[in-house]
């Protein structure tokens, strides 16, 4: 069971019956006087008192309260790892910074279509440095940056999301979405890597409340190929996870 609102008093469907109950303290003696002097039939006493409460409860549910239906969501920050001046890991003509920028743009598009407010570290091919990304994510309700792993072992593979423990559930959901889209496996604890256990050490983006999604290994030809063929599909899956998280679904 999930309570939808802790402060029930803000609803008119609660306030009006309460006011009605107070008014009945005045109305009931009056009704009794009317009954005693046979001005109204005795059975009308119960009909009137009950009818007042039912009507006020019904009225409270019918009156629209716009402030209670406008629950603003925070903004979502989606950023791309590295920058235009720092390509990150490279495999032939493919540069990590460029690949994750495309992924960021695709995720942003799906989030905007869902009506979410989104901030990014650049538009189009622009990928601003980490210092800009950290500034952008301040005040966000969700902040996610995309990277790709690399290793000297060309067989190294898998999807992982690095975060603080408080974001463990979201991290796992993001990794799962990417892994299923690319046909990859999950690394770490079902796709989650605690920053304290990360091979990358302490990360500024994560320390400031963000999550870093590693979209596979650019050094692995199969994962690189899957990324290039299906990154729009994976971006849509990631966006759906973010949307559900933002809406508390």
pLDDT at 116 over 80: yes
Cβ(148)–Cβ(217) under 8 Å?
yes
pLDDT score for 195: 87
213 vs 35: CA distance, rounded Å: 75
pLDDT score for 197: 81
Of 68 and 44, the one with more pLDDT: 44
CA distances from 121 to 83, 84, 128, 129, 175 (A): 9, 11, 5, 8, 22
**Per-residue pLDDT tens digits for 62-115:** 554 554 444 446 799 999 999 999 999 999 999 999 999 999 999 999 999 999
pLDDT score for 20: 57
Indicate the pLDDT class of residue 10, thresholds 50, 70 and 90: low
pLDDT at 59 over 80: no
pLDDT at 237 over 90: yes
56 vs 245: CA distance, rounded Å: 37
Average pLDDT in the chain: 84
Percentage of the chain exceeding pLDDT 90: 64
Cβ(76)–Cβ(116) under 8 Å?
yes
Average pLDDT over residues 182-191: 98
User: Which two tokens mark 55?
Assistant: 């009507």
pTM: 0.72
pLDDT score for 201: 72
Cβ(96)–Cβ(82) under 8 Å?
yes
Cβ(158)–Cβ(184) under 8 Å?
yes
| Domains of the chain listed by start with CATH number | 8-69 (no CATH), 76-246 (3.40.630.40)
Nearest residue to 214 via CA among 116, 118, 132, 96:
96
User: Which two tokens mark 19?
Assistant: 């006011």
pLDDT at 42 over 80: no
């Amino acid at each position: 069971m999930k309570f939808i609102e802790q402060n029930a008093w803000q609803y008119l469907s609660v306030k009006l019956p309460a006011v009605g109950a107070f008014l009945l303290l005045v109305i009931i003696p009056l009704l009794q006087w009317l009954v005693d002097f046979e001005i109204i039939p005795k059975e009308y006493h119960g009909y009137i008192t009950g009818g007042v409460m039912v009507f006020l409860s019904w009225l409270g549910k019918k009156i629209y309260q716009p402030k209670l239906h406008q629950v603003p969501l925070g903004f979502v920050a989606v950023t791309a790892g590295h920058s235009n001046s720092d390509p990150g890991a490279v495999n032939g003509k493919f540069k990590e910074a460029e690949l994750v920028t495309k992924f960021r743009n695709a995720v942003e598009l799906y989030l905007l279509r869902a009506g979410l407010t989104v901030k990014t570290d650049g538009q189009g091919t622009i990928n601003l440095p980490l210092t800009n990304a950290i500034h952008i994510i301040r005040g966000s309700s969700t902040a996610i940056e995309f990277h790709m792993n690399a290793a000297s072992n060309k067989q190294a593979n898998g999807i992982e999301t690095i975060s603080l423990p408080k974001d463990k559930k979201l991290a796992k959901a993001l990794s799962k979405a990417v892994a299923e889209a690319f046909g990859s496996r999950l690394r770490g604890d079902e796709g989650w890597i605690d920053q304290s256990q990360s091979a990358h050490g302490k990360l500024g983006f994560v320390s400031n409340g963000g999550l870093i999604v590693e979209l596979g290994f650019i050094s692995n030809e199969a994962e690189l190929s899957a990324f290039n063929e299906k990154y729009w599909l994976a971006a849509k899956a990631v966006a759906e996870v973010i949307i559900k998280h933002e809406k508390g679904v």
